[in-house]
Amino acid sequence: MRSHYCGQLNSSHIDQEVELCGWVHRSRDHGGVIFIDLRDREGLVQVVYDPDLPEVFSAAEHVRNEFVLRVKGRVRARPEGTVNPDMPTGEVEVLGLELEVLNKADTPPFQLDEHEKASEEIRLRYRYIDLRRPEMQEKIRIRARTTQLLRRFLDDRGFLDIETPMLTKATPEGARDYLVPSRTHPGEFFALPQSPQLFKQLLMMSGMDRYYQIVRCFRDEDLRADRQPEFTQLDIETSFLDENEIMELNEEMIRQLYKEILDVDLPNPFPRMTYDEAMDRYGSDCPDLRVPLELVDLQDLMQEVEFKVFSGPAKDPHGRVAALHVPGGSSLSRKKIDGYTKFVGIYGAKGLAYIKVNELAKGRDGLQSPILKFLPDSAVDGILERTGAKDGDLIFFGADKTHVVNEALGALRVKVGEDLDLMEGAWRPLWVVDFPMFEWDDKHNRWNPLHHPFTSPKDDQIDLLESDPGKCKSRAYDMVVNGTELGGGSIRIHSGELQQKIFKLLEIGEEEAQEKFGFLLNALKYGCPPHGGLAFGLDRLVMLLTGSKSIRDVMAFPKTQSAACQLTSAPSEVSMTQLRELSIRVRKPQSEEAS
């Protein structure tokens, strides 16, 4: 139907006759001539209808926004003075010779140019209109280009794209599963996969050697801004490679991707940092290295001060006292600091002590702080020395359980960095390595795996599994870019005995282990190769690449925060017949039944 895309026309097409198909982006009558901006996937071009051609002119008079047109016309240079340098096709226009209305359109619920005035709910309900916006089209295109590049990189290196089941057994990732009732096995359920973890390990046991898949995963969790009930992973697994080889291969892939999509050179190699160092310096295992602020330990300085808020955590083996030094921060208003106090409260911090360094030369008088009176000179001197604070700076303090201090100051660090515009560099990737195998679960009084229970401990630390599990490090690695965890993985356990030892340590009883993972334990007996891999969050990766604020923007048909689809009104009620066939019935929460 068409000879060119609208957005492709330029001065090389002048005098050519072209056929275009697209949507009326806008139309206007200007001095008795009708100008239509015709839009397709590749962009806009101006089509001009002249009253000299009365028949098509009259047809053009009746088009409205979002009508679908087929246009035949001749490309010509725009008259002098009307060239539009902001438009890729702005040097030319098309003199319309024919016009066919392929479809009409009602007035859309919002104009594309004015989408910001529409609520997100309306834009999701009319997603097919919102997706017509050039910015949205660009995001979807970058997503398609991204998967294409990732696939080609892996194809070229002998990775096989292999599909794993969607209707499967409850997975061990620990989040809530989406369940699917089985009709042929009444009372039994499939689970939608939280990840293909066990299947990709089974593929290694099947001798597939190198596997990847771009695969949908499901988690029925309470949704945060950057979570969706279904999301997409680039899932990778390989045999006979160690963690260094896997990290090298994957950072090479991401480097090539950034080069192709954004023309950005990421560092080669990516810096690596241990988990312990990341927590000490940044209070986070996915530090945003663009923020040039670091946490400074004050533990030893605060052991003996009378100020219990500091000395308590300083003496607690599970506590931490740390400072965050903010150059130029003394200009922060009281109101701003109150805001930060509230902010760290989200992470459980009970307050936010600070010292403003007004004039060091004046000693204590040059400092301004509600807590100064509680601290002896030696502590104050130590703080100033360790942070290297100068006139005009500010120092925040955190003192609490270690995880509270880390989360609160870690988050504050990024927030202050953004607020004060301190960010350095556009893209700062790194690997975080040497994760602990386990974290202590206070609530259930047991060890939980920090990654998942198939992660291998470091070879030289297997003894610690018995003597001091909390100290045992794993062969896991996370790729972090600008404070976002893009992907993570590990070398897996390939020994059945070790796997059982880990299950035991996690207090997964033998029966439960058999019931849940029996097939894996079985498979480990029959010649499992050493293997490992990782998974990238594709939605987050594309979100970063496109500079989007939400993963909803990089999915064609996302769900709302209550896990519903505004467009199709899913989920919805189903018939009794369907439920009967599946051997289930609805049982609403009691509060609702009572009402």
- Among 312, 314, 303, 294, residue whose Cα is nearest residue 409: 294
- Among 234, 275, 205, residue whose Cα is nearest residue 454: 205
CB 254 within 8 A of CB 486: yes
8 belongs to an annotated ligand binding site: no
- For a copy of itself, the binding residues in 48-77 under the rule CB under 8 A are 66-68, 70
30 belongs to an annotated ligand binding site: no
Q: Extract the tokens encoding 429.
A: 């990737």
| Distance of alpha carbon 586 from alpha carbon 579, whole angstroms | 8
| Distance of alpha carbon 552 from alpha carbon 560, whole angstroms | 8
Hey, which residues does 33 pair with through a beta bridge?
Answer: 30
- For a copy of itself, the binding residues in 483-522 under the rule CB under 8 A are 494-495, 518-519
Should residue 594 be labelled a site residue for a copy of itself when binding is judged by CB under 8 A? no
Query: In residues, how long is the chain?
Result: 595
**Nearest-approach distance from CB 104 to a copy of itself, in angstroms:** 7
Only one of the segments 48-56, 207-215, 327-335, 430-438 lies at the binding site for a copy of itself (rule: CB under 8 A); that segment is 207-215
- Binder among 56, 192, 380, 405 for a copy of itself (CB under 8 A): 192
Only one of the segments 44-52, 194-202, 278-286, 420-428 lies at the binding site for a copy of itself (rule: CB under 8 A); that segment is 194-202
Only one of the segments 146-154, 305-313, 340-348, 399-407 lies at the binding site for a copy of itself (rule: CB under 8 A); that segment is 146-154
C-alpha distances out from residue 228 to 194, 212, 485, Å:
12, 22, 16
Do β-strands 438-441 and 33-40 pair in parallel, antiparallel, or remain unpaired? unpaired
Q: What is the CA radius of gyration of the chain?
A: 30
Q: Is the dihedral of CA 210, 212, 217, 222 positive or negative?
A: positive
- For a copy of itself, the binding residues in 226-245 under the rule CB under 8 A are 229-230, 232, 239-242
412 belongs to an annotated ligand binding site: no
- Among 92, 98, 25, residue whose Cα is nearest residue 60: 98
Which of 307/557 has CB closer to a copy of itself? 557
CB 8 within 8 A of CB 16: no
539 belongs to an annotated ligand binding site: yes
Should residue 1 be labelled a site residue for a copy of itself when binding is judged by CB under 8 A? yes
- Binder among 54, 207, 317, 547 for a copy of itself (CB under 8 A): 207
| Distance of alpha carbon 411 from alpha carbon 295, whole angstroms | 11
- For a copy of itself, the binding residues in 370-399 under the rule CB under 8 A are none
- For a copy of itself, the binding residues in 82-141 under the rule CB under 8 A are 102-106, 108, 126-129, 131-132, 137, 140-141
Should residue 443 be labelled a site residue for a copy of itself when binding is judged by CB under 8 A? no
Should residue 199 be labelled a site residue for a copy of itself when binding is judged by CB under 8 A? yes
* Residue 49 CB contacts under 8 Å (≥ 6 apart), including other chains: 33, 34, 35, 36, 56, 57, 60, 96, 99
**Nearest-approach distance from CB 477 to a copy of itself, in angstroms:** 18
Should residue 216 be labelled a site residue for a copy of itself when binding is judged by CB under 8 A? yes
**Nearest-approach distance from CB 394 to a copy of itself, in angstroms:** 43
- For a copy of itself, the binding residues in 551-580 under the rule CB under 8 A are 555-557, 559, 562-565, 567-574, 578, 580
The phi, psi pair for 342, rounded to 5°, reads: -60, -45
Which of 96/398 has CB closer to a copy of itself? 96
- Among 255, 234, 387, 276, residue whose Cα is nearest residue 322: 387
540 belongs to an annotated ligand binding site: yes
Which of 269/496 has CB closer to a copy of itself? 496
Question: What number of chain residues touch a copy of itself (CB under 8 A)?
Answer: 119
Residues of the binding site for L-aspartate? 173, 219, 451, 492
Binding residues: 173, 219-221, 228, 451, 485, 492, 537-540
